[in-house]
Amino acid sequence: MRAAAVILLICSAGLPPARVAQDAVREFRVRLDTSKGPIVVAVHRDWAPRGADRFRELVTAGYFDDNRFFRVVKGQWAQFGINGDPKVATRWRPNTIPDDPRGQSNVRGRVAFAFKDPNGRTTQVYIALKDLSDPQDAQGFVPFGEVVQGMDVADALNSEYGETAGGGIRAGKQQAVFDGGNAYLDREFPRLDRLLKATVMR
């Protein structure tokens, strides 16, 4: 049965159309066009519905366009998700979502939101460049997707700056990135790779 027919059928039962439309999209793909080449992420809503919905919201809003991969540690992770415009980044910063229950493990290629506090996920996302299940599974990092094309691109993202270009949320060293945006990162860390555009694939 086509998605539209499913939506029509369930709407007739009294469920809100927006909720039904979201539920009907169990899996979708997002193409990340980067300065090193494309990365395609398959997003699985049944893995982490809140995380998947937030990721789609950010992609469709253009939030990730012209971002920097500001935290790349070779053989560990590649993180992005602080908008290059400080006004946009600051506006989204307090817009948290509730945690998803633990499900899939943080093995190589999985994609999850970074966070500091419980129910504190906002916009920062990382790609696991190795198996990070121990200890990240126990710490509550819940993958919502996985790289299905371009893992070699993720591995090739510039890691020369490591944690120094902003670090993780828990390190408490990101304020300069929020305050200065791309202008700050491009001045201080000019060889960071870029996420040029993120697109939901049709």
The closest alpha carbon to 37, from 130, 143, 150, belongs to 150
- Determine the angle formed by the axes of helices 17-24 and 3-11, rounding to 10 degrees: 150
Its pTM stands at: 0.86
pLDDT of 184 strictly over 50 = yes
User: Is 16 inside any structural domain?
Assistant: no
* C-alpha radius of gyration, the chain, whole number: 17
Type of residue found at 197: K
CA distances from 153 to 53, 112, 148, 187, 194 (A): 25, 18, 11, 24, 12
Residue 181 lies in a domain: yes
Helices assigned H by DSSP within the chain: 3-11, 17-24, 49-60, 86-92, 133-139, 151-156, 175-188
**5, part of any domain:** no
Q: Model confidence over 152-177: pLDDT tens digits?
A: 999 999 999 999 998 777 666 899 99
Indicate if the pLDDT at residue 202 is higher than 90: no
Q: What is the pLDDT of residue 167?
A: 78
- Residue 6 covered by a domain: no
Let me know if residue 97 belongs to a domain. Answer: yes
Quick: pLDDT tens for 1-47: 444 443 333 343 444 444 444 555 789 999 999 999 999 999 999 99
Mean pLDDT of all residues in 115-136: 96
Q: Examine residue 105 and state whether it is found in any structural domain, yes or no.
A: yes
DSSP-assigned beta bridge partners for residue 54: none
The mean pLDDT of the chain is 89
Structural domain harbouring 43? 27-200
In a domain, 131, yes or no: yes
Residue 62 lies in a domain: yes
Residue 193 sits in a domain of what CATH number?
2.40.100.10
Structural domain count, the chain: 1
The pairing of strands 125-128 and 143-149 is unpaired
